[in-house]
């Protein structure tokens, strides 16, 4: 969400995650600090107050960790839009979910016995905003429409490979800024060059499923738009080379390749 590509296993190692007890908020705060972020702790007993404070963070682009299901599972709230909350959730095949406030509150509230009234149960809502200590260059801008697109069964594999797509794009593109006036969006880039790139990869490889190749490019376009990544005008040729290389490697991994620029191996006669 903050443009930091961090491996899950590396985060677990830094946090000191234990397979039998998971990871608590203190361990996560330790890991966040390692990545130059502060993870704050907030506890509220009034659901409406918690809702308003959560929305305040999300509207500032700050992701918020929530411990749900009676403190047994972590999710990350990343967006609120017209009463709907977008959560990133590792338990979901699609990685994310869209919940109404009623649905979110039901899974978020933790129940504890009230020390002053043994017959009463106290609702507890804990949340942990992850606040960067640096100027964020590229930040994910999710929306309900984008989340619904990723929730389609056909896009589940794409959603789980999000970091790989983002990592490749960050090597080629730059975040769009008010000062960057001369740039090419990935949509415009593909309008100009997609047909040529797919034609060349198809020719070089010998044969590819062209709709699948175009789908890879569409996924790159979707991620780039989510983060506001563009090509500076002077990097257009570099972009052609980079996107072509990505698609070529995909074709090789998907369909395999024959030896290139090698003499055919002669079989020995018996």
What is d(CA 160, CA 163) in angstroms, rounded to the nearest whole number?
Answer: 8
Domain ranges of the chain: 8-144, 161-255
pTM score: 0.85
Helix (H, G, I), strand (E, B) or coil at 155: helix
C-alpha distances out from residue 139 to 2, 61, 189, Å: 5, 8, 21
Q: Please, where are the H alpha helices in the chain?
A: 8-15, 25-34, 47-59, 101-108, 144-151, 156-160, 162-170, 186-205, 210-227, 236-255
Class of 8-144 in CATH: alpha beta
Biggest CA–CA distance in the chain, Å, is 93
Helix (H, G, I), strand (E, B) or coil at 127: strand
- Residue that the structure tokens 């309008």 belong to: 191
Per-residue pLDDT of the chain (270 residues; tens, 9 = 90+): 998 888 889 999 999 988 778 899 999 999 999 999 999 999 999 999 999 999 999 999 999 999 999 999 999 999 999 999 999 998 888 889 999 999 999 999 998 876 666 666 788 999 999 999 998 888 899 999 999 999 999 998 999 899 899 999 999 999 887 666 789 999 999 999 999 999 999 999 888 999 999 999 999 999 999 999 999 999 999 999 999 999 999 999 999 988 888 876 666 666
């Amino acid at each position: 969400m903050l443009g930091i590509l961090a491996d899950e296993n590396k985060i677990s190692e830094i946090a000191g995650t234990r397979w039998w007890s998971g990871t608590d908020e203190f361990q996560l705060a330790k890991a966040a600090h390692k990545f130059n972020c502060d993870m704050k702790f907030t506890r509220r007993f009034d659901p409406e107050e918690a809702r308003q404070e959560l929305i305040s963070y999300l509207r500032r682009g700050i992701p918020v960790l929530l411990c749900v299901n009676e403190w047994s599972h972590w999710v990350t709230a990343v967006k609120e839009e017209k009463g709907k909350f977008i959560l990133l959730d590792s338990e979901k095949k699609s990685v994310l979910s869209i919940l109404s406030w009623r649905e979110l509150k039901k899974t978020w509230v933790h129940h504890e016995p009230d020390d002053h009234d043994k017959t009463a149960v106290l609702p507890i809502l804990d949340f942990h905003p992850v606040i960067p200590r640096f100027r964020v260059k590229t930040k994910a801008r999710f929306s309900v429409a984008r989340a619904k697109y990723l929730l389609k069964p056909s896009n589940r594999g794409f959603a789980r490979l999000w970091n790989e797509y983002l990592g490749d794009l960050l090597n080629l593109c730059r975040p769009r800024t008010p000062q960057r006036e001369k740039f090419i969006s990935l949509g415009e880039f593909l309008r100009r060059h997609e047909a040529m790139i797919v034609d060349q990869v198809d020719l070089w490889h010998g044969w590819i499923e062209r709709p699948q190749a175009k789908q890879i490019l569409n996924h790159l376009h979707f991620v780039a738009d989510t983060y506001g990544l563009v090509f500076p005008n002077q990097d257009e040729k570099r972009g052609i080379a980079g996107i072509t290389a990505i698609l070529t490697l995909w074709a090789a991994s998907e369909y395999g390749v024959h030896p290139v620029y090698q003499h055919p191996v002669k079989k020995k006669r018996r």
